[in-house]
């Protein structure tokens, strides 16, 4: 007949008998807890490392996407930029080149009675997208006498060979009578041009 467990009393002898088993059981529990804790630290470190690698991969992917977009932008604007560079529109104005060319033309075509004047360079509108550059305009007024439409077309073609971009803003034509220097009648021409260039934004 089994007795009630509540009435069991452990003696020192009993403790000596079961003591080793209790120590082994406690050691096993401690070892299991240590392994569990170590596994948790390893898992946390691996998870942290994977999260860091994932963030680095996402960052590299974003950088690659940005570089691709920048390259596409460069390719998109490369040809227009090279065209403007060939026209010598970028940078400072070429006023001295224009004056020298006009003086040479006046000597070559004396019968045109060429006269010209320049106004100070001004800025057109707000700065462009980068905030540092702006479109600048140098106003030029030219008056001369054209003998025929051929002279008009010749003058326009001559302008395109000069550095920069000349945009006609207003032209007036009137019938010109004969003069002592030129007995043939012609057309009196007065045109206002803007020499355009892209340079540094001028703060007001």
* Residue range 47-83, pLDDT digits in tens: 788 888 888 888 888 877 777 776 666 566 556 666 6
* Residue range 96-150, pLDDT digits in tens: 999 999 999 999 999 999 999 999 998 887 666 566 778 888 999 999 999 888 9
CA distances (Å), origin 122, targets 29, 79, 136, 169, 170: 87, 27, 6, 15, 18
**Alpha helix positions (H), the chain:** 12-86, 95-108, 149-160
Cα angle: 20, vertex 26, 29; to 5 degrees: 140
Question: What pLDDT does 27 receive?
Answer: 74
87 or 40, greater pLDDT: 40
Q: What is the pTM of this model?
A: 0.57
Question: What pLDDT does 180 receive?
Answer: 46
Question: What pLDDT does 183 receive?
Answer: 47
Question: What pLDDT does 97 receive?
Answer: 93
Question: What pLDDT does 1 receive?
Answer: 44
Cα(85)–Cα(89) distance, integer angstroms = 6
Report residue 119 CA to chain centroid gap: 32
Cα(70)–Cα(105) distance, integer angstroms = 45
Tell me: pLDDT of 5 over 50: no
């Amino acid at each position: 007949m089994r007795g009630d467990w509540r009435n069991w009393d452990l003696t020192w002898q009993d403790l000596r008998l079961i003591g080793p088993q209790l120590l082994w059981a406690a050691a096993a529990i401690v070892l299991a807890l240590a392994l569990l804790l170590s596994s948790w630290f390893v898992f946390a470190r691996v998870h942290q490392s994977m999260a860091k690698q994932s963030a680095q991969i996402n960052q590299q992917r974003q950088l690659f996407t940005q570089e691709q977009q920048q390259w596409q932008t460069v390719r998109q604007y490369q040809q227009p930029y090279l065209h403007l560079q060939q026209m010598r529109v970028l940078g400072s104005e070429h006023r001295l080149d224009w004056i020298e060319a006009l003086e040479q033309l006046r000597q070559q075509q004396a019968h045109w009675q060429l006269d010209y004047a320049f106004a100070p360079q001004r800025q057109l509108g707000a700065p462009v997208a980068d905030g540092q550059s702006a479109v600048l305009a140098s106003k030029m007024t030219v008056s001369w006498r054209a003998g025929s439409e051929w002279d008009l077309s010749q003058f326009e073609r001559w302008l395109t060979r000069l550095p920069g971009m000349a945009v006609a803003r207003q032209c007036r034509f009137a019938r010109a009578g004969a003069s002592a220097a030129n007995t043939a009648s012609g057309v009196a021409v007065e045109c206002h041009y803007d020499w355009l260039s892209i340079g540094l934004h001028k703060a007001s």
